[in-house]
Structure 1
Amino acid sequence: MARRGETIELAVLGLLHEAPMHGYELRKRLNLMLGWGRVLSYGSLYPALKKMLRSNLIEETTASSATVSRRPRIVYQLTEQGNAEFERLMCEVGPTAWEDDNFDIRFAFFGRTDMEIRLRVLEGRRSRLQERLERVQKELAMTQQEVDRYAAELQRHGVESVEREVRWLSELINAERSGGAPDDVGATDTEQHHTPETTPPDRQAHQG
């Protein structure tokens, strides 16, 4: 399973692949784009940036401020090595690419990959969720008689959320195979792929 720091690094590489950014803009874009369960703090972002600087994946430049009294702002941009690393990571199609936050990031940057890679990641994600769905349905059938109605309702919510994501993925896969685009995928909300299981709604079914 990918560590959170590695997930942040992939997201930063993807954003800087679009354009150089300073730390504040990077943090804002990460929070808006990824919609993580908690706000990404500078305490999480800047250690990741320092590590990427040491690895020569990114480099710092300074941008002059319009206000004389202000210090120049540091702007981060990809190095040639960082660009190559982003391309390499986006070409990975194994289980790491199907994990929760990693999948979200890869999907956000799907425009940088070819159809074959997109299909393999989408199909892998769908297969993994179908396995989870079968397990959660069995657990629901076994525990429904043992828990109160609120706990049972939470479990049902988890099952329904996984089912929605599987349908969403199937629609995306069909659109890819027919040469379509995400805009062609019905009226399914693109946020429906955040699926729960039996702990807090909207993130549980990804765990385990």
Structure 2
Amino acid sequence: MLEIAILGLLSESPMHGYELRKRLSSLLGAFRAFSYGSLYPSLRRLQEAGWIDEAAPLEEPAGGFATRSRRGKRVYRLTAEGKEHFAALLAEVGPEAYDDEGFGTRLAFFAQTRADVRLQILEGRKQRITEQADGLRASLARTRERMDRYTLQLQEHGLESADREVRWLAELIETERRGPGSAP
């Protein structure tokens, strides 16, 4: 999912590693830390694959802004092949698009995702969370009497959170089905 996030951010504009890390943290949540130890190897792999490259030093794009800082930071940008690869990644739907990390990343780029794919991802996520909530409900029914009050409260909080997410997903799905321009 880090690959999708990096390519998605670079599709918006070229940026250097530190800026990418800051944007990844703000995009995917303040509690999800990205280390340089995972970011830079990912950037290297994307570069080796030909999906990103480094902007030439002191290159002046149309907006008149230099793409390399005065301190010589490497500025990464998406290549044409990278744009195609990013579009292909956004079109893929599978179990990784429904899990916590994958769903959050995919949701962050829904504006660039086809409507039919968005709907599949939302429905898959809703099914996954509904199954988790049903499992938690069944577990609570079997073990409620044996739990201390704190564990019980934690389990009930988890169930309430899952139920709230299912309702939210149902609203998003309904909005998607109504089509473009629908208010959420």
Q: Do both share a fold (TM > 0.5)?
A: yes
Deviates more, 1:93-102 or 1:156-165: 93-102
SS of 1:76's partner is strand
Aligned to 2:157: 157
Q: How many residues align structurally?
A: 176
1:175 is aligned to 2:175: yes
- In structure 2, give the amino acid aligned to 1:140: L
Q: How does 1:88-167 map to 2 (within 5 A)?
A: 88-167=88-167
Aligned to 2:13: 19
SS of 1:40's partner is coil
Q: Distance in 2 between matches of 1:36 and 1:117?
A: 27
Q: Distance in 2 between matches of 1:48 and 1:173?
A: 33
Aligned to 1:192: none
How many percent identity over aligned positions? Answer: 49
**TM-score after normalising by structure 1:** 0.78
- 1:156-200 Cα deviation digits (max 9, x unpaired): 000000001100000001111112568x33xxxxxxxxxxxxxxx
SS of 2:75's partner is strand
Deviation at 1:96, TM superposition (A): 2.0
SS of 1:85's partner is helix
**TM-score after normalising by structure 2:** 0.88
1:54 is aligned to 2:43: no
Aligned to 2:62: none
Q: Distance in 2 between matches of 1:130 and 1:151?
A: 21
Equivalent position to 1:9, from 3, 6, 11 = 3
Structure with the higher helix share, 1 or 2: 2
Q: Distance in 2 between matches of 1:181 and 1:90?
A: 21
Deviation at 1:109, TM superposition (A): 0.6
Q: Distance in 2 between matches of 1:172 and 1:180?
A: 12
Equivalent position to 1:35, from 4, 16, 29 = 29
- In structure 1, give the amino acid aligned to 2:109: F
Q: What is the RMSD of the two structures over their aligned residues, measured on CA atoms?
A: 2.0
The answer for unaligned runs of 5 or more in structure 2 is: 59-64
SS of 2:19's partner is helix
Bigger Rg, structure 1 or 2:
2
Retained in 2: the 8 A contact 1:56–1:82?
yes
SS of 1:39's partner is coil
The answer for unaligned runs of 5 or more in structure 1 is: 1-6, 186-208
Q: Distance in 2 between matches of 1:85 and 1:113?
A: 13
Q: Distance in 2 between matches of 1:132 and 1:102?
A: 17
1:84 is aligned to 2:78: no
Q: Distance in 2 between matches of 1:38 and 1:123?
A: 25
